[in-house]
Amino acid sequence: MYLMKDITRDGNPVLRKRAAKVQFPLSDKDKQLAHDMMEYLEISQDEKLCKKYGLRAGVGLAAPQVDVSEQMAAVLVPQIDPDADTDKPMFKDVIINPVIVSESVQYGALTEGEGCLSVDEDVPGYVPRHDRITLRYQNVDGETIKIRLKGYPAIVCQHEIDHLHGVLFYDHINKEHPFEAPHGTVMID
């Protein structure tokens, strides 16, 4: 299993590279990578296990963050709406060779700003992203999935896809006015 010592940190060139496309059928190494990245998220979201292993909780983890420059990321977005009629995750999958095929003109941003397992210090400010996206990716079985995402799951997937393109969240923050978001931005709590 991955521990914080396995997570690459800002300054490591692997985080600024464009990752390579993943070939199918998946190699055993890539199958293990997919498993281990999702396992990290599951453990990090279990309060006891997270503390036991000294992890930072995460809702996404991209392969470059474990020093593998390939287009693969695990995403596990738990249900955050207490009134929701299910505790099923809002989105859970390993997205391989993801492509955003369409995106809303309207921006969305987390009111709390963003963090990153690969960036140890806080970088305050709004991170404007597309509020709605249509995402196409391959899953571990090689099936092509096309899904529309909105709000928080859309934000998380864009954060992870950025990692595959060598982009970090603070690249999007307005340097002069960090808490200014483009007009019409949907603020997400």
Question: Sign of the C-alpha dihedral, residues 161, 167, 168, 170?
Answer: negative
Q: With contacts defined by CB under 6 A, how many residues of the chain interact with ligand K2U? A: 17
157 labelled binding-site residue: no
Cα–Cα distance for residue pair 132/98, rounded to 1 Å: 15
58 contacts which partner out of ligand K2U, Ni ion, none, CB within 5 to 8 A by kind? Answer: ligand K2U
38 contacts which partner out of Ni ion, ligand K2U, none, CB within 5 to 8 A by kind? Answer: none
Cα–Cα distance for residue pair 109/130, rounded to 1 Å: 8
Is 181 among the residues that bind ligand K2U (CB under 6 A)?
A: no
In the numeric block, the tokens 């340097």 are attached to: 175
By CB under 6 A, the residues from 120 to 159 that bind ligand K2U are: 155-156, 159
Cα–Cα distance for residue pair 8/43, rounded to 1 Å: 18
Catalytic residue positions, numbered: 160
Q: What dihedral do alpha carbons 126, 131, 137, 143 form, nearest 10°?
A: 140
116 labelled binding-site residue: yes
Question: Which of 45-53, 93-101, 111-119, 146-154 is the region at the interface with Ni ion (rule: CB under 5 A)?
Answer: 111-119
Q: Please, are residues 14 and 168 in contact by the beta-carbon 8 Å criterion? A: no
Residues within the annotated binding site for Fe cation? 116, 159, 163
Give contact residues for ligand K2U (rule: CB under 6 A).
57-62, 110, 114-118, 155-156, 159-160, 163
